[in-house]
Structure formats: C-alpha cells, structure tokens
C-alpha cells in the first residue's frame, strides 16, 4: 500500500478509535439502524415462507378436476403432479365420490374414497374424534351424519352399493374408527380408503378431484396451474381463490409495513448521524483549521470526513448485521415458532446500505468542515 493511502487510513481510523466519545454515538446509531435494516430484511424475505406454512393450515390451495367431457385417472393425476417441484408439494389428496346406502336406515350418503395420509397434510383442519381409519374396513363418519343415523365410534355400519351394469347390490360391513369435525360440508360425508371403495363399488381408477396444498406465492401457483393444464388436456388445474387471495393480501400488507418501517428507521439513522457529525465537526473546528493551515485542500478535508463516515458505516454495518440476524431470529422464534437460516447476501447488503447512509449523512457536516477558516488557528481561538 502506498504511504499516502496508509496515512489516510491511519488518520481516519485513529480519529474513530482514539477519540471515541461522540463518534461512538454515531457508530451506535448506525449499528442500530443496520440492525433494524438487516433484521427486517431477513423477516421480509422469510415472512412469505413462514406465512405460507401458516396458511397451509387452512387447506388446499389448488385442485385438479377432470376437464369438461374428459375423465381423470389416478395415473393422469400423478402425471400432472410432476409439474410441481416435490419440495413445494406439501400434500395431494385424491378423492372419488360415490353414493352409497346405509342398509339399516335405507338412506344414501356421499362416500369419499381417499388417501388418509395425504388428507392429514392437505386438510390439517380436519379434527377426528377417535382414530383415523387404519385399514380398508374402517371408515370416518362426518359428525352430522353420525348424529343423524346415531352411530358412534366402533359402531359397525353395513354399506351397500348397486352396480348399474351387473344390477347386483354389494354389501360390506365397516367399523367406524372416528368421527370427523370440520365445520364444513365434509361433516355429512363418509370417508374410506380407495381400496375400500373399490371393494364396495367395483369402480377403479377414476378420480373426481385431487386436492393439493402447494407452498408457493399466487403467481407461482398460477404458473403451475397453467403448466398442468397445458401438459394434460384431460385435466384442469384451479386455484382455491379464497385461500390464495387472503394469503397474498396479508403478505403484501405485511411487506409494505416492513418496508415503511425500514425507511423510517434509515431516515432516523441519517438524522442522528448527521447531527452527531455536525457536533463532531464543530468540536473539531480547531483541528480542521490546523489541517487547512498545514495545506489540506477542500478535497482532502472532504475525503477525510467521508472516510471517517464510511469507516463508521462499515463498522456499524458489520455490527448491525450480526445483531439484526439475532433480532430476526428472536422474532421468528417467538412469532412464527420456527428458526431462520442466515442469508449470506444480507452481509454485503447491510454493509453497503450502512456505508451509503453514513456517507450521505456526512454531506452537511462536511460542508461545515470545508467552510472552517484556517486563520482561526492563528487567532488562538
């Protein structure tokens, strides 16, 4: 390094490290600003993920149904699922609906054949009293239906289905493993495994709907849906608007809030650094006059104060990145009950913003420094 640059760095750092006092206040305000900046940016980028996870509790946000005039099979549906990255697919529950008769009451009900493992992840709001079915002879009965026909957990129900082609009625006894509470229309259904439904009805392979829970923003969901519909002409993919819309609007409001808070904090930081540096400049008038008397040009004075400001920004930015991550982690753990990973890009971002903010804050103080009259040192002020 050349001796001139070395001396420059020496002066700039010595001014901060040996003088301390007021510069420490400026450093502190930059660090606080940088902390909030990096903390909020972390949350800003992490909130969609966290919120998405929270929203997935409200159920499926995309469904596959057969295109009009076509039919959907287990095979074609699983082909369609390949359009969605496996990491983003939280669950996909196939459903086939059939009218079955409860022999003892001579009433028909809608029975749904599905995959219970998947239902648990696509419909986390399903509350089961008792147990989820463990085999192909156990069923879930919607609460409403259970009350209507007076069945309880462990009751045995005989269900029958009349095959229109063979004109034969098939009967099977099922044990009620649990009662389903959803607060929705599902409470009037019976739920069984796909295999149980095949055994009862002889119908295989066709699906009426595939309910999916996908971790993605609205735009992404739309593009997945388009890709699926394009690649599989027999299948139509649709978003469940009620869920995706409210998710998107809550998110955008939250992100706007975070953005505004960040801007306000940066503005406050600038005001604080600016006033502190003003005080520092007036405190150092004699020194500035002396430097000018020794031959410092306006540019030298500007470079030195800018250098001090940027050094301040650098230190504050580094400090703020660390504290900000801790802050974001704290918020995440306490609000969303999940931890976040450190974004490496955050370090350069915070440092650059701190350096720029700090340098901008020094503009006015630098103007004052340049205006100092070197003659004052001879006057013995």
Binding residues for other proteins (CB under 8 A): 2-4, 6-8, 10-11, 14-15, 18-19, 286-287, 289-298, 300, 373-375, 377-380
Of 227 and 376, nearer to other proteins (C-beta) is: 376
Give the whole-angstrom CA distance, residue 117 versus residue 95.
Answer: 13
Q: Which C-beta is closer to other proteins: that of 179 or that of 296? A: 296
DSSP assignment, residue 178?
Answer: E
Partners of 99 in the β-ladder: 110
Strand 62-66 relative to strand 235-239, pairing: antiparallel
- Of residues 66 and 289, the one with the C-beta less far from other proteins: 289
Q: Nearest CA to 368 among 273, 272, 290, 298?
A: 298
- Name the residue among 172, 221, 212, 377 with its Cα closest to residue 291: 377
Contact 108, 100 (CB under 8 A): yes
Q: Which tokens belong to 192?
A: 């069984």
What element of type H or E holds 105?
A: none
Q: Shortest gap between Cβ of 380 and other proteins (angstroms)?
A: 5
Nearer to other proteins, 231 or 375 (CB): 375
Is 23 or 111 the residue whose CB approaches other proteins more closely?
23
Cα gap 221→61, rounded to integer Å: 9
Q: How far is the CB of 288 from other proteins (least distance, A)?
A: 10
CB 196 within 8 A of CB 157: no
Minimum CB separation of residue 29 from other proteins in Å reads: 21
Fill in the DSSP letter of residue 335: I
Tell me how far apart the alpha carbons of residues 197 and 199 are, in angstroms, rounded to a whole number: 5
Q: Which is nearer to other proteins, 193 or 276 (CB)?
A: 276
In the chain, the N- to C-terminal Cα span, in Å, equals: 37
Nearer to other proteins, 21 or 334 (CB): 21
Task: Give the residue with the Cβ less far from other proteins, 1 or 219.
Answer: 1
Q: Which of 265, 358, 370, 316 is nearest to 41 (CA)?
A: 265
Q: Output the smallest distance, CB 378 to other proteins, in A.
A: 5
Shortest Å, Cβ 319 to other proteins: 22
Cα separation values, 29 from 265, 267, 271, 329, 361, Å? 10, 11, 10, 21, 12
User: 302 φ, ψ to 5°?
Assistant: -60, -45
CA distance 172 to 136: 11
Segment (H or E) for 156: strand 156-163
Cα–Cα dist 275/362, whole Å: 9
Q: Which residues contact 10 (CB under 8 A, 6 or more apart)?
A: none
Q: In angstroms, give the least distance from the CB of 376 to other proteins.
A: 9
Our CB check for other proteins shows the closer of 220 and 287 to be 287
Q: Which residue has the tokens 């044990």?
A: 175
Q: Which is nearer to other proteins, 334 or 378 (CB)?
A: 378
């Amino acid at each position: 390094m050349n001796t001139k640059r070395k001396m420059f760095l020496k002066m700039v750092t010595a001014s901060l490290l040996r003088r301390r006092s007021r510069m420490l206040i400026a450093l502190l305000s930059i660090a606080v600003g940088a902390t909030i900046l990096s903390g909020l940016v972390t949350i800003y980028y992490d909130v969609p993920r966290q919120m998405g996870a929270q929203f997935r509790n409200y159920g499926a946000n995309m469904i596959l149904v057969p295109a009009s005039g076509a039919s959907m099979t287990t095979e074609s549906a699983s082909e369609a699922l390949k359009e969605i990255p496996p990491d983003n697919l939280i669950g996909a529950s196939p459903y086939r609906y059939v009218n079955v008769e409860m022999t003892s009451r001579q009433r028909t009900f809608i029975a749904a054949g599905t995959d219970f493992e998947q239902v648990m992840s696509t419909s986390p709001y399903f509350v089961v009293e008792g147990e989820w079915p463990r085999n192909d002879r156990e069923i879930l009965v919607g609460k409403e239906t259970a009350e209507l026909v007076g069945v309880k957990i462990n009751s045995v129900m005989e269900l029958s289905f009349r095959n229109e082609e063979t004109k034969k009625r098939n009967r099977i006894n099922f044990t009620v493993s649990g009662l389903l509470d959803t607060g929705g229309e599902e409470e009037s259904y019976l739920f069984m495994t796909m295999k149980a439904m095949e055994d009862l009805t002889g119908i295989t392979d066709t699906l009426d709907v595939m309910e999916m829970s996908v971790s993605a923003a609205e735009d992404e969901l739309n593009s997945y849906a388009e890709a699926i519909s394009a690649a599989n002409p027999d299948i139509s993919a649709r978003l469940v608007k009620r869920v995706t819309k409210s998710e998107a609007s809550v998110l955008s409001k939250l992100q706007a809030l975070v953005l505004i808070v960040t801007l306000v904090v940066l503005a406050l930081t600038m005001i604080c650094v600016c006033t502190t540096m003003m005080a520092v400049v007036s405190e150092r008038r004699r020194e500035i006059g002396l430097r000018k008397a020794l031959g410092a040009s306006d540019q030298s004075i500007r470079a030195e104060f800018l250098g001090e400001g940027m050094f301040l920004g650098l230190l504050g930015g580094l400090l703020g990145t660390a504290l900000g991550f801790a802050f974001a982690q704290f918020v995440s753990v306490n609000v969303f009950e999940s931890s976040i990973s450190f974004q490496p890009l955050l370090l350069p971002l915070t440092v650059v913003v701190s350096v720029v903010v700090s340098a901008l804050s020094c503009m006015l103080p630098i103007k004052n420094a340049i205006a100092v009259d070197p003659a004052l040192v001879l006057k013995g002020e």
